[in-house]
Amino acid sequence: MKILKYNYTLNYKHILILKYNKIKNNINNIYNNFKYNSHFFNLNKINLSKQSWIQCENCYNLNYSKVIKFKYNICEYCNYHFKLDSFDRIYTLIDSNTWNSFNEYLFSKLNFDKNKLYDYRNLTGLTEAIQIGVGNVNNIKITLGVMDFAFIGGSMGSIVGEKITCLFEYTIYNSIPVILICSSGGARMQEGSISLMQMAKISSLLYRFQQKYNLFYLSILTSPTTGGVISSFGMLGDIIIAEPNSTITFTGKRVIEQTLNQNIPENSQISENLFIKGLFDLIIPRNLLKKSIIDILKLHKY
């Protein structure tokens, strides 16, 4: 049998192609070995959570989630305040084993998409965009309402309005101070005029609360607080506190610019700028908030 011999010389291009194919084959072999032998690995125990590190929206530095949790979700580098859900806010303010929520299971009779509400309830663990209850702050009994932006943007619908009304009625009956932490995108547009009337409902009750019963109401504004909330009970507190660098406005920046056809200043809707204009009494960092609340309550002889 005659053997054919081919004599040729490899140029540089051919060498690169051969090296590329060799590397490609090695990668494929590694992938296939891992694919068919993956049952030897318990992948469920490997923590690949994206939330292990949290990037600051202000300075873009990375914060380790387990460390930042004990620092009230405040950036270690620039003191930027991350968003807190209602459960964490209750935990940071109320004395341990003193919190008792009420009216948790109020549901709207409006025929909305139940699947959408079910998704939000699964996501947040809440039935509505606010938690209300009674607890102690340094052994001072108070009622507390905490809005949660994660539930449909903290929007104020009929049930949110009813819960806040129940909160103030309970406060009147027990003659104790009330604290309301606001974090909302405003009235819930999906409910139309029903959500709009919650502004009048709560504001009229607050008038009687402050004029007739002379009880203390502390309003705390967090980022963001906008729309119908800021134009009703959010700005009706006896003392109004805002968190640093919070967005507090009635209408969003883009809407104002499109309506007026002109640019507005960059930080015009930030709490520090609004404090200079006299809209708030205090701007208090989150890690000093509980101590400040205790001092304010003692000042009012509670």
Give tens-digit pLDDT for 149-201: 999 999 999 999 999 999 999 999 999 999 999 999 999 988 889 999 999 99
- DSSP reduced 3-state for 104: coil
Please state, rounded to an integer, the average pLDDT across all residues of the chain: 85
Q: Is 182 annotated as a binding residue?
A: no
Q: What are phi and psi for residue 120, nearest 5 degrees? A: -65, -35
Q: Is 75 annotated as a binding residue?
A: yes
Q: For residue range 194-226, list pLDDT tens digits in order.
A: 999 999 999 999 999 999 999 999 999 999 999
Report the pLDDT value the prediction gives residue 202, as an integer from 0 to 100: 96
Q: Hey, what are 250's tokens?
A: 């009635």
Q: Is 78 annotated as a binding residue?
A: yes
Higher-confidence residue: 14 or 297?
A: 297
Q: For residue range 239-265, list pLDDT tens digits in order.
A: 999 999 999 999 988 899 999 899 988
DSSP 73: T
Higher-confidence residue: 146 or 50?
A: 146
Contact (CB, 8 A) for 93 and 137: yes
**Beta bridge mates, 218:** 179, 239
pTM: 0.81
Report the pLDDT value the prediction gives residue 42, as an integer from 0 to 100: 42
Report the pLDDT value the prediction gives residue 20, as an integer from 0 to 100: 53
Q: Hey, what are 104's tokens?
A: 């948790």
294, pLDDT greater than 60: yes
| Of residues 132, 120, 45, 20, the one with CA closest to residue 86 | 132
**Beta bridge mates, 147:** 130
What count of Cα atoms within 13 Å lies in the side-chain half-sphere of residue 124? Answer: 25
